[in-house]
Amino acid sequence: MYNTALSAVRWERDLFATRLATTTDIEMVQRLAGEQARRFHGLDERLPESLLLPAWLAVPGSGACWLAENGRRVLGALCAEHERWSPESAFANVFPRRYLRLRSYLVDNTLPAETLDVLLGRADGWPEALATTGRMIMTPARDQALSAALRRLGFQPYHTITHRSMGETPPAAVDGVVVRPAALADVPVVASLMAESWRFHAAHQPAITLTDSLLAGCEHQAWQLAGDGVNQTLLVAELAGELVGFFGAGMSAQETELRPSLFATGYYGDIYEVAVRGDLRRRGIGLAMFRAAWLWIKAQGAEAMFVNYAPTNPLSSRFWPKLGFQDTWVNWWRPRATPPQS
């Protein structure tokens, strides 16, 4: 457990008792999760009003959950699972290889940093945590108290999930840019553009570890993005007959009663991967692809769309807000050895 005192509020660790939750506590943790979901929905109506716990909580050994208590009052829970990406995975080059995925369920926003600090200490002592490079946790963008608490505990934004209603049709495509569905023959070029994009990402996200199999992994991911054209599509952009960009998107049914969801119940367009060749950025190619993807998503009956981007990426952090996307969730990252800030 970190021993650094938090300067904003004086408190005693002895006021907090922590213990490992058991299967008999699942109903109580679910109740905490439900109360928190309703609180989050009050901050942002785009978020779900209810929340189901991940199934692994009921499977011994696949995850762990700790409770913080003050006397007879439960202050919150922190659940953890060990996420691993094998070298063969399509995501092996774009995510930290091993990290703890954390989910917090706090009773309210009273002393969130202090409660989380105690629970994080237990998670750090979990045997499954020893081989990981860091911790990742998600919070609503509009929850300023939790955001401030995580910053005080050494976390920094890693990914931002943004939301946009379908709204008006985006501007017409740029002259000379042709956007079309990808063909199988396009996969090697898409993979090359994707690899270039992830090298750019890695320069702005230190937690990403690229490997020698980057291009092979990107080719595998490009095959996956191609989809069936109904539930998923891969669009490519051509300029003067040369393939210079790609846009992968699909459909996501957010069903809060069946599984954990990011958004309120509905049918959403999910933007997967987007890239434009480095020497041709800022020429309207990305906008042309977005317009074509918007038309495809609209035709599938979506009521809104979302995308995940890195706030530290100087390109995507400007591109998506200009298109009307608004921050909804933030994925926070902390390397294992980083102490809290005073």
286-333 pLDDT tens trace? 999 999 999 999 999 999 999 999 999 999 999 999 999 999 999 999
pTM for this one?
0.88
Query: Strands of 266-276's sheet, edge to edge?
Result: 17-20, 64-70, 73-84, 98-106, 134-140, 326-335, 156-165, 304-309, 266-276, 242-254, 232-239, 177-181
Mean pLDDT value across residues 267-271: 96
C-beta of residue 312 within 8 angstroms of C-beta of residue 170: no
Domain 13-161: homologous superfamily in CATH: Gcn5-related N-acetyltransferase (GNAT) (3.40.630.30)
Domain 13-161 identical in fold to domain 171-322: yes
Query: Is the pLDDT assigned to residue 35 strictly greater than 80?
Result: yes
Q: From 3.40.50.300, 3.30.70.3270, 3.40.630.30, 3.40.50.720, which CATH number describes the 171-322 domain?
A: 3.40.630.30
Residue 300, pLDDT score: 93
Q: Residue 312 corresponds to which tokens in the numbers above?
A: 């530290």
Ranges of each domain in the chain: 13-161, 171-322
Residue 63, pLDDT score: 83
218 vs 40, residue with greater confidence: 40
C-beta of residue 57 within 8 angstroms of C-beta of residue 33: no
First to last CA, the chain: 15
Query: Is the pLDDT assigned to residue 66 strictly greater than 50?
Result: yes
Mean pLDDT value across residues 88-109: 76
Q: Please, what's the largest Cα pairwise distance for the chain? A: 70
Residue 55, pLDDT score: 64
244 vs 96, residue with greater confidence: 244
Q: Residue 42 corresponds to which tokens in the numbers above?
A: 């009050």
Residue 234, pLDDT score: 95
Report how far apart, in Å, the C-alpha atoms of 198 and of each of 2, 205, 233 are: 34, 10, 20
Residue 248, pLDDT score: 95
Residue 2, pLDDT score: 35
13-22, 39-48, 266-275: the lowest-pLDDT one: 13-22
